[in-house]
Amino acid sequence: MNEEVAIRRRLHANPERGFCEYRTTCLVVARLRELGAEVALGADIMVPELRMGVPGDVDRAWREALDEGLDPQTMAALRHGTTGAVGILRGRRPGRVVAVRADIDALPLTEDGDDGHRPHRLGFASTRPGTMHACGHDGHTAIALGLARRLADRDFAGTVKLLFQPAEEGLRGGRAMAASGVLDDVDDLICIHLGLGAPTGTVHPRTHGALASVKLRATFTGVAAHAGLAPEHGRSALLAAAAGALAVHAVGQHGSAATRVNVGALDCPGASNVVPASATLDLEVRADDTAACDLLADRVTAALRGSAAAYGVTCALETTGHAPQVRCDADLADRIAAVAARVPAVTAVGGSLADRASDDAAWLLDRVRAHGGRGTYLVIGADQAGGHHQSTFDIDEDALGVGVDLLDRVVRTLGAAC
């Protein structure tokens, strides 16, 4: 079992939710330091205030992680959920700055326990019920660390930055990392993703069709009252939330963009004889055009606020996730394709992959482009068991080696490009 596989399995067995990736970050940091990389952490790579959807229990999780014996110095930098890390490897020769981004968080999902599920059968399934690496981020992290090992020789031109981003799921961490400025000297950014339907050995140097997305949490606050004795004193947060849920689904049509609206959860606890005073909606909008997505977010916001007002209720809105559309630079992708064609492990170099998902790598890509750099979203094919975000998800670990081989060549080539 090679090192990439070993690391991937260790991460797979210990998945952590976004902004709670304390163990994962500590593992990454320790390995980077072993390999001689500089490491940046916490507020150096993240504007904490720009994180979105930070869970309420990041501090409790931090304390638990600390109690397990993690490195106190590293943990101090991660306090209050400023997880993630950036490793910097400087080549012996001058050259361009190339960055590779891996996301490190897991999903709120309980892993399949059937013998047919390989991680379970081989004993590296999640040890944390309710949390699972079901989108391949364990593999992304392992590839990036594998790349760090390869680059430890320093026999390359330029600088390589390895970004280990927290909280991609829910589009919560990318904006804060982009705003930190850690990418502001980067010429080429490669955001990697395993799978997405592409088989092991294939590579797609870019994607198209991704959806910009905004995630919102709406909290309605009304007035409780006895439903039999004095309903006129009540202002039902439930009715406001219900009307809001219907309204947001009715305002999303677009003539020239694909759009989506979904209210995914409504929580309104209470008893049947009390007018309910509090309700929460979790929802998202998406569009294959950033402007259409922003318009949609505005309309949805108005729909929720108006519905609240209609029932005499207040509505507080929190943006719990947000990403513009992932856009790739064709010239960078073409360079990668040219390199990939010469990597033995790569059996086929595909064109632009159509992908309807959302990824907050978009913030990082846009940041690099803002100062004249280039970026792309690189899909490293991997045979899959189970779909992404399903409890039976698993990836062909051979793809990890393909990824390391490919990126090794790519960053050396790009770093040396004039």
User: What residues between 273 and 332 interact with its own copies by CB under 8 A?
Assistant: 273-276, 279, 282-284, 286, 292, 295, 299, 302-312, 320-321
Token couple for 84: 């993630």
Backbone angles phi, psi at 385, to 5 degrees: -110, 125
Name residues contacting its own copies, limited to 170-199 (CB under 8 A): 170
CB of 331 to its own copies, least distance (A): 27
| Closer to its own copies by Cβ: residue 30 or 227 | 227
Binding window for its own copies (CB under 8 A); candidates: 31-39, 112-120, 322-330, 355-363? 355-363
Using CA atoms, how far apart are residues 292 and 255, in angstroms rounded to an integer?
10
CB of 58 to its own copies, least distance (A): 19
Name residues contacting its own copies, limited to 376-395 (CB under 8 A): 389
Name residues contacting its own copies, limited to 55-114 (CB under 8 A): 108
Whether 147 contacts 3, CB under 8 Å:
no
| Closer to its own copies by Cβ: residue 116 or 255 | 255
Whether 360 contacts 322, CB under 8 Å:
yes
Closest CA to 313 of 277, 283, 281: 277
| Closer to its own copies by Cβ: residue 100 or 295 | 295
Which residue's entry shows tokens 């361009």?
96
Using CA atoms, how far apart are residues 399 and 402, in angstroms rounded to an integer?
5
Name residues contacting its own copies, limited to 15-34 (CB under 8 A): none
Q: Which one among 59, 155, 267, 334 touches its own copies, defined by CB under 8 A?
A: 267
Using CA atoms, how far apart are residues 233 and 354, in angstroms rounded to an integer?
53
**349 lies in the site for its own copies, by CB under 8 A:** no
Using CA atoms, how far apart are residues 370 and 392, in angstroms rounded to an integer?
39
| Closer to its own copies by Cβ: residue 206 or 322 | 322
Backbone angles phi, psi at 23, to 5 degrees: -65, -45
CB of 85 to its own copies, least distance (A): 27
Tell me how long the chain is.
Answer: 418
Using CA atoms, how far apart are residues 329 and 282, in angstroms rounded to an integer?
33
Q: Which one among 27, 268, 402, 414 touches its own copies, defined by CB under 8 A?
A: 268
Strands (E), 157-200: 157-165, 188-194
Using CA atoms, how far apart are residues 151 and 162, in angstroms rounded to an integer?
11
| Closer to its own copies by Cβ: residue 250 or 338 | 250
Q: Under rule CB under 8 A, how many of the chain's residues touch its own copies? A: 77
CB of 320 to its own copies, least distance (A): 8
Backbone angles phi, psi at 67, to 5 degrees: -65, -20
Name residues contacting its own copies, limited to 204-263 (CB under 8 A): 211, 213, 215-216, 226-233, 236, 238-239, 241-247, 249-263
Q: How far apart are the first and last CA of the chain?
A: 38
Q: Which one among 5, 50, 266, 330 touches its own copies, defined by CB under 8 A?
A: 266
